[in-house]
């Protein structure tokens, strides 16, 4: 499981709710759930139900593993969309890729790419769709990051294409203005290296009349 994304105050509220009578507990829990972010909600749901992918990572559920290292597992999907449908999951529980470090993101896509090559070579598929359902609002069935590698075959009946909207130049300009140049890169190092400036007072001077 991931680190607890709930605040100490929220954890206290949950503890308080757990002491209430069952019916009252249900009502208070529903109210509490409305105050949570999607990530916090997914965390709570998984705490109740257990995360299938975490169970796979911990070896509690058997899987048809194609590859495994200390960070990721590539496995066959038990409900394949097509022949050879595979996925790569991080061993740590993440709901969205934004929670992962740059290195972890790079690694999971590196392995997904290797899996795609395997499917091309072994199954002679015509192409692959590499898909990430990112976060609870994306249609994720399991709130744990997975990179799906779906081999495509002629007449396989799948269609991942979306209906494109005809927007005007104004809409694109607006989006561009709002988003350009704002991608955030981590600055952790800079913060850590920032030297502490200590102010040294000269006591002698202050005592002067």
Binding site for Zn ion (CB under 5 A): 51, 53-54, 93, 144
Residue nearest to Zn ion (CB): 51
When the beta carbons of 85 and 144 are compared against Zn ion, the nearer one is 144
Minimum separation from the CB atom of position 72 to Zn ion (A): 13
Rounded (5°) CA angle 42-104-39: 15
Closest by alpha carbon to 44, among 54, 33, 53?
Answer: 33
Minimum separation from the CB atom of position 188 to Zn ion (A): 25
When the beta carbons of 108 and 119 are compared against Zn ion, the nearer one is 108
Minimum separation from the CB atom of position 77 to Zn ion (A): 16
Minimum separation from the CB atom of position 151 to Zn ion (A): 25
When the beta carbons of 51 and 88 are compared against Zn ion, the nearer one is 51
**Measured between alpha carbons, how far is 188 from 172 in angstroms, rounded to an integer?**
33
Cβ neighbours of residue 194 under 8 Å, at least 6 residues apart? none
Cβ neighbours of residue 65 under 8 Å, at least 6 residues apart? 73, 74, 75
When the beta carbons of 46 and 84 are compared against Zn ion, the nearer one is 46
């Amino acid at each position: 499981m991931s680190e607890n994304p709930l605040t100490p105050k929220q954890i206290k509220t949950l503890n308080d709710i757990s002491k209430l009578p069952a019916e009252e507990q249900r009502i208070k829990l529903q109210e509490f759930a409305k105050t949570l972010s999607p990530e916090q909600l997914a965390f709570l749901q998984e705490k109740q139900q257990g995360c299938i992918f975490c169970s796979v990572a911990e070896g509690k559920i058997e899987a048809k593993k194609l590859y495994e290292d200390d960070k990721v597992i590539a496995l066959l999907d038990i409900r394949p969309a097509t022949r050879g449908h595979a996925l790569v999951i991080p061993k740590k529980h993440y709901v969205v890729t934004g929670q992962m470090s740059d290195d972890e993101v790079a690694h999971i896509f590196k392995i997904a790419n290797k899996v795609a090559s395997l499917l091309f070579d072994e199954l002679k598929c015509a192409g692959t769709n590499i898909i990430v359902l990112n976060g609870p609002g994306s249609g994720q069935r399991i709130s744990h990051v997975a990179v799906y590698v779906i081999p495509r075959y002629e007449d396989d009946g799948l269609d991942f294409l979306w209906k494109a909207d005809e927007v005007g130049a104004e809409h694109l300009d607006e989006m561009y203005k709002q988003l350009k140049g704002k991608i955030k890169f981590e600055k952790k190092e800079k913060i850590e290296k920032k030297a502490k400036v200590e102010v040294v007072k000269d006591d002698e001077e202050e005592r002067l009349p």
